[in-house]
Structure 1
Amino acid sequence: MPILVITGTGTEVGKTVTTAAVAAAAVAAGRSVAVLKAAQTGVRPDEPGDAAEVARLAGGVTTAELARYPEPLAPATAARRAGAPTVGPREIAEAATKLAASHDLVLVEGAGGLLVRFDEHGGNLADAAALLRAPVLVVATAGLGTLNTTELTARELRSREVELLGVVIGSWPDSPDLAMRCNVTDLPEVAAAPLLGVVPAGVGSLDPADFRTSAPGWLAPRLDGVWAAEAFRRRAAL
């Protein structure tokens, strides 16, 4: 798995912190890691973006950003309003392939959900994953509504014959409600893919050293972690 595409079921689902956790676990396992942010929106030129946040938390990773637009909009819309060039699936695939030549793992982080448009032709992250023939990791929310958005994302990937590696819950609260506890069981069923981790809420504010030490405990062995889905599921059901 030299390239892994990471998408969310929507915005503000914990995608960047999850990307940082995957990167940190891979680095701890001795792998060289690059993080590619296809298009950064809503950030000024002098501000750190998502790739920089992943590097701050994970440490020891190469970062790259293909485009940056100041307004917090879908990349195609933000580019149009800024009068700036767009970045399409082919450019994303080419950049990821180049990074993969010198790294053990390349994490390609999208913007929002799977079908958010990157260019004027409707190109999206699913298109890039198909070009790369790379698996996709879906970051989902914990609570009500997540089963629908996760299943829609999974169905879209299957319709394109793109591998869904699994699902990670991007922000798990200290006191989960009934729906959240049930979703631990139901998410892998609706996605037809394994639950590969649960990232606790608020860990993005941890000291980076503590984040790096803790990250493998949030992720399954498939993502270089030690988290056990069945044990977590039993605890959530209590």
Structure 2
Amino acid sequence: MTVLVITGTGTEVGKTITTAAVAGTALAAGRSVAVLKPAQTGVRPDERGDADEVARLAGAVTTLELARYPEPLAPATAARRAGLAPVRAHEVAEAAAELATGHELVLVEGAGGLLVRFDDEGGTLADAARLLGAPVLVVASAGLGTLNTTELTARELRHRGLDFAGVVIGSWPNDPDLASRCNVADLPVVTGAPLLGAVPSGTGALTPADFRTAAPSWLSPELGGTWDAVAFSARCAL
């Protein structure tokens, strides 16, 4: 794949750290990588955004942020309240396509979930993915409630005719509870898509060197890593 769109089932599910893991794994394999953040919300002009965090952890990636809004809100709402121009889905697709001319992998990291609005006309990350014809990777939480939100996201992807690459658990707990362990088996069933990785909780606090060394072990071969879904599921079932 040249462009991979990365969305979450909501906020705070580990989307940025997962994006960094995918980027770091690709860099370790010798691929050139760009990370596009269409709309960054909740940060001041002088603060580091999600794309900056990906670059800090993953290494020498090209980063591009199309718009930044100060309040931690959905992009359309944040743009409206700040009196700034919103991001349009076609602008996201055009920027990703341009980055793809000079990079072997472009990661487009959304804001929150798949249908979070970029503008007041209802443009979303799903629309950008459709324009790009790019696969969508869904980052989900581990615990109770994730089956519903992840299945809803999967249904929407299929309803729109989008290529659903699979699911990564974005913050796998050090001491997983019963629901989290059962969800490892249930997520592929309810989504009809493979589980492509599990990123351990707290990995954003690793040094960049340690993060880059470990990242491939959190992701399946489909994402360039060495993570074994069958072995992981077997351990969770014990």
TM-score interval, smaller chain: over 0.9
User: For residue 118 of structure 1, what is the amino acid of its counterpart?
Assistant: F
4+ runs of 1 displaced by more than 2 Å? none
- Partners of 2:157 and 2:118 in 1: how far apart? 17
The two structures, once aligned, show a CA RMSD in angstroms of 0.4
Aligned to 2:153: 153
Corresponding residue for residue 49 of structure 2? 49
**Counterparts of residues 63-82 of structure 1 (less than 5 Å):** 63-82=63-82
Structure-2 residue corresponding to 1:13: 13
SS of 1:108's equivalent in the other structure is: strand
Q: What letter is aligned with 1:95?
A: A
Map of 1:30 onto structure 2: 30
> TM-score of the superposition, structure 1-length normalised?
1.00
Describe the superposition over 1:38-75 as per-residue Cα deviations: whole angstroms up to 9, x where unpaired.
Answer: 10000000001000000000001000000000000000
Are 2:230 and 1:234 aligned?
no
Q: Who is 2:125 aligned against?
A: 125
Query: Distance between the aligned counterparts of 2:217 and 2:29, measured in 1?
Result: 13
- The residue aligned with 2:138 is 138
Distance in 1 between residues matched to 2:126 and 2:16, nearest whole Å: 18
Quote the Cα distance in structure 1 between the aligned partners of 2:222 and 2:61. 19
Percent identity reads: 76
How far apart are 1:2 and its partner, in Å? 0.1
SS, match of residue 107 in structure 2: strand
User: What's the offset of the Cα at 1:120?
Assistant: 1.3
Aligned-partner residue type, residue 166 of structure 1: G
- C-alpha separation between the residues in 1 aligned to 2:109 and 2:234? 31
Residue 116 of structure 2 corresponds to residue 116 of structure 1: yes
Q: Are residues 1:215 and 2:207 paired? A: no
Q: Distance in 1 between matches of 2:102 and 2:131?
A: 19
Deviations 1:131-189 (A, max 9, x none): 00000000000000000000000000000100100000000111100000000000011
Amino acid at match of 2:152: L
Cα separation, 2, equivalents of 1:105 and 1:43: 26
- Provide the aligned length of Structure 1 versus Structure 2: 238
Separation (CA, whole Å) in 1 of partners of 2:60 and 2:136: 23
Give the Cα–Cα distance (whole angstroms) in 2 for the partners of residues 161 and 150 of structure 1: 17
Q: Structure 1: which 5+ runs fail to align?
A: none
